[in-house]
Structure 1
Amino acid sequence: MINILDFNLEELKNWMKENGESVFRGKQVFDWIYKGIYNFDDMKNLPISTREKLKSNFYFSIPEMVKEYKSKDGDTYKFLFKYKDGNIIESVVMKYKHGNSICVSTQVGCRMGCKFCASTLGGMVRNLTSGEILGEILAAKGEMGEKISNIVMMGSGEPLDNFENVLKFIEIVNSPNGLNIGQRHITLSTCGVVPKIIELADIDLQITLAISLHAPNDEMRRNIMPVANKYSIEELLKACINYIEKTNRRITFEYALVKGVNDRGEHAEELARLLKGMLCHVNLIPVNEIKENTLKKSSAEDIKKFSNILIRNGIETTIRREMGADIEAACGQLRRSYLEEGK
């Protein structure tokens, strides 16, 4: 059996043709799916024989909701979803004035080992397929009864470590016949897998690329992000400049501020020198504290000082609004808590 959500429109049309059906049936099925119909028997404009054929070959990988958490202010929803194989992933929906943004997971777990991230504590279990990532959005939409306007691939997993599935996911959600979410409303966040950033630049998508930098120099970055042992900041920034030149798209640098580690004034000055002249934006993030390590978030005063130094040096900077802190909305926290409870 095949997850039908892994199919784009052309693949569905081709499947119909190869299986003795009219090609236009593929478009009909695709339309039903993105109207929220996940039962072939409810696709009433299809002949019964076609529906039976579909039931014999396909299933819908819409994950089951295990738990839903809602922040006290009502702006953040966190969902724990379970797939058919029993694996648990999590997705977060954040409500803004400009629409609902969903943060999706691209892998079950993660192998990147960043110290401040709970997703990576149990290692990587497996990649999610394009249809399984899509299933997170369809499941969240169904639970909330609201449209999703923006997608952020910043949940569990490293998107560029699941490159082909992520590219196909972007293609399907961007499809006018599918969810029709514009590429400019899609953000891909990576810890810095340099060869894949170079490859992504050559594809020339209109998505926003976000780089988890979190340190102004290699020594500091290696202490908190194992990927820095493979790719230096110099190599990473070279790939970023190449990406900017080829796509003419601004890059966002994510910088999680850790008290007493990377949040001092001299670190801000060093970061400003590093990024000077680049078409970029820095998003400062108060680090999410997790019980498995001793990292503490910087004070509001130190975060503001850090921001002011960057701005004074001509670096466009914002401080991310904290959302969902009361429901453990940091990547991987709820999944890990749920699995520990199960043990």
Structure 2
Amino acid sequence: MEFQTQHQGSGERKVPEIYVGNLPTDISEVEIIRIFSKFSAQKVRKFLFDVKCFAFIEVPTEKHISMAVSQLNGTVYRGRKLNVGKSIKTSLEKNKQINHFSTIKQKSSLPEKTKDTEFIKASIPPTKDKSPSCKNAIFIKNCRKIFYAVPMEMRSLMLMSILNECFGNLNWFGSIMKDEGETAVMVTETYPETPFFWAIQLSEVSQNKMVTLFTAIAKSEKNQPYLGKDDAHRGKKCLAEFLFTPHDAGAWNRACILEVVNFFALVFFVDFGSTAFIPIYSLKFLSEEEFWQIPPLTQPFMLEEDVFCKERLVKTVLRGKIVGSHMCEHHIHRFVPFSEEARFHVRDLQERL
């Protein structure tokens, strides 16, 4: 039996729902119902966007929600740590969301062959580029024949605006421009076939900051409530799940909302330099100032002579040298890797450093 609360005179009904995030991408609705069967699960709505999978499960009462959160939040299912929380939405909002997804589906309803091949080919102009295969390489050597536009989120005008919303005092920002000399960096985001990337400089100081920040977030995450539609706006500080790769389990990290589109938010992960388009109801509050005392862990870099290959590169440590800054954007470090042999996966970091 579906439990709904009627708001007198408003025409809206509140539906008790459980939100579950970080689900395996190949999970079925039947499997989700089975997980929540002991809490009288009635209906399930699953959403899959790239590597993120989440669902809303309708239950009879809020008591069932509390029981599900206390028993299942943080448990591991098929190698993924489930994020289970309370998500009460009005049925009017739910209908708008369903209609929004239907509109998107209709607009993109191209024949399968056209969508996968002809449409993509028609969208990309022909090129005479004979770049070498990236199977065993991360750089395309000596390909800096043109000037590359700085990615939008790296440009000082946008980056300073984001950081000011999150951190307020930016006195620390000038110090990063003074970095120089040999260093090791862990790559957190790249822009394929360009020289630009985000990375964390590895040092004892940065390691202590990472431990302090991520420990504090892990301890408080369970107590942070989820955002509602009215809570999301440009410049909002929040917690969002970050995935380095499709094979990683999601981890909560600091984020800033750049834009809101219907029931989704474009967020910027300030400690990794990545952006993602995420459902608003999967974001959590993180307004306490204690979480924003540590400046962003990642910094913008560019390769001095090479460009990255076509594959996205993350969680790789590079040894090299900072030799200066970008001619216009002085906060972007120019970086020269010593050699490809000087790189290794972050899981080997303790053994190599």
Tell me the TM-score normalised to structure 2 length: 0.22
For the pair shown, which has the larger CA radius of gyration, 1 or 2?
2
Structure (1 or 2) with the greater helix fraction? 1
Structure (1 or 2) with the greater strand fraction? 2
Tell me the TM-score normalised to structure 1 length: 0.23
By relative contact order (CA 8 Å, sep 6+), the higher-ranking structure is: 2
